[in-house]
Amino acid sequence: MKVFYAVEDGKIRVCESGDDETPVPVGFKETDNKDLYKNEGDPVEWFDDNMRRIPDENLVRQGIRVDKRGLWYNKITGEKKYIHNLDVSIDETLYTKAAPIKNESYQKFENNEWIIDTEKKDKAEKESRLSVLISEIEDAERRQIRPLKAIINNEATSDDTDTYNRYEAIILQLRSQITELEQDLL
């Protein structure tokens, strides 16, 4: 069997013949690489002078091919992006191979590493605390309703008055904490 190749638009074209008497087709050259047909369409720079395919790791080392394979992370969102093939480029200003911090919701990529975003984390914790305080005030106000109705209707016992006053004190204390948190969040 004879194997012939030609270069078209920088890529290998292969032609085979089962007959050893076949002349070289016009525009083609004969090669002794019987496996060249497996590389149909590959760029010509991936071959040595004997038309043997240069291993990918050597092509990468020479800078002919790009190897960005693996798991990448978006530097802003931490979203995963997997590159499976050679010669696929990725914007390294937007992606990194460094994995985000596990189980940490508040982080950012800075100085080539993931760090905890203490400002965002602190703000989120304060907002969460504010939400809890508001719920506690709502609960205290609900607990004041029955004693307040008794007070309004002149049917209040000392327990009703004590209960109402106890929850009023709690509400005032919680409101001052809310005011402080709201000021911190500005």
145 and 180 together in one domain: yes
Residue 88 CB partners (closer than 8 Å, separation 6+): 66, 68, 69
Listing DSSP states for 49-71 in one string gives TTSPBPPHHHHHHTTSS----EE
Shared-domain flag, residues 110 and 134: no
- What total number of domains does the chain contain? 3
Q: Are residues 45 and 85 in the same domain?
A: no
Residue 60's pLDDT is 96
Element (H, E) at 167: helix 158-185
Are residues 108 and 126 located together in one domain of the fold?
no
Residue type at 37?
A: Y
Show the beta-strand stretches assigned E in 32-125.
Answer: 70-74, 80-83, 95-96, 107-110, 113-116
In this structure, are 147 and 124 located in the same domain? yes
DSSP class of residue 72 equals E
Domain that holds residue 167: 119-185
Burial class (CB in 10 A: 0-12, 13-18, 19+), 12: buried
pLDDT score for 55? 95
Residues 179 and 123 in one domain: yes
Q: Is the same domain home to 146 and 174?
A: yes
Computed from CA positions of residues 139, 140, 143, 149, in that sequence, does the dihedral angle turn out positive or negative? negative
**Does 128 share its domain with 147?**
yes
pLDDT in tens, 114-166: 999 999 999 999 999 999 999 999 999 999 999 999 999 999 999 999 999 99
Same domain as 181, residue 140: yes
Global pTM value: 0.66
How confident is the model over 13-70, as pLDDT tens digits?
Answer: 998 877 777 788 888 998 888 889 899 999 999 999 889 999 999 999 999 999 999 9
